[in-house]
Amino acid sequence: MSSGLSLPGEAATGRLGAVAALALSPQPFPFVVTLSGDLGAGKTTFARALLQALGVTGHIRSPSYALLEPYEAGGWLALHLDLYRLGDAEELEMLGLRDYHQGRSLWLVEWPERGAGRLPRADAGLHFEADSPAHRVSLLGHTPAGQQWCADILHAYRAAS
């Protein structure tokens, strides 16, 4: 199932991230979400809002240079990966990602195509487009859990708008 939303500004992208965090609770774990799209399309804004809604406090850094920023909040291990600067997918082995793919973990992976073949299977994918005047996001569930998560997000976001 693929569905899309118009996001008229950064605040709307933030609301979507908060709604996405609330929709996570019944999902099995680990849960992997890919975030794709051009620079400036809203991927990091979405990830920050989702992490804040999970209870991460303080500054949420973009993992552009470190590739990976782990966060713990409310019993969650949330991993924010930004693979934009990844030279080769094999570099992911140095991050020890296998150790993270267990228990109550959430993966948010920006630029997932750069880690192809080295990342766990995605449950859901969000594709962001920087259209004018509003950005767009398409949600696609790849597993039954991912399909349910996407449907829950769309329902809650539309109900709140």
Contact 67, 81 (CB under 8 A): yes
**Span 72-87, pLDDT tens digits:** 877 778 899 988 877 7
pTM confidence score = 0.89
Predicted local distance difference test score (pLDDT) of residue 95: 75
Residue spans per domain, the chain: 2-86+100-160
Q: How far apart are CA 38 and CA 25, in angstroms?
A: 29
- Please tell me the least confidently modeled range out of 9-13, 20-24, 33-37, 57-61: 57-61
Contact 138, 2 (CB under 8 A): yes
Give strand pairing partners of 68: 81
Q: How far apart are CA 125 and CA 139, in angstroms?
A: 6
At residue 141, φ and ψ (nearest 5 deg) are -85, 130
Predicted local distance difference test score (pLDDT) of residue 65: 57
Half-sphere exposure of 23 (CA within 13 A, CB side): 23
State the average pLDDT over residues 4-33. Answer: 89
Class of domain 2-86+100-160: alpha beta
Contact 47, 108 (CB under 8 A): yes
- Tracing tokens 């880690």 back to the chain, one arrives at 115
At residue 129, φ and ψ (nearest 5 deg) are -125, 130
- Tracing tokens 């019944």 back to the chain, one arrives at 26
State the average pLDDT over residues 101-120. Answer: 86
Is 155 or 93 the better-scoring residue by pLDDT? Answer: 155
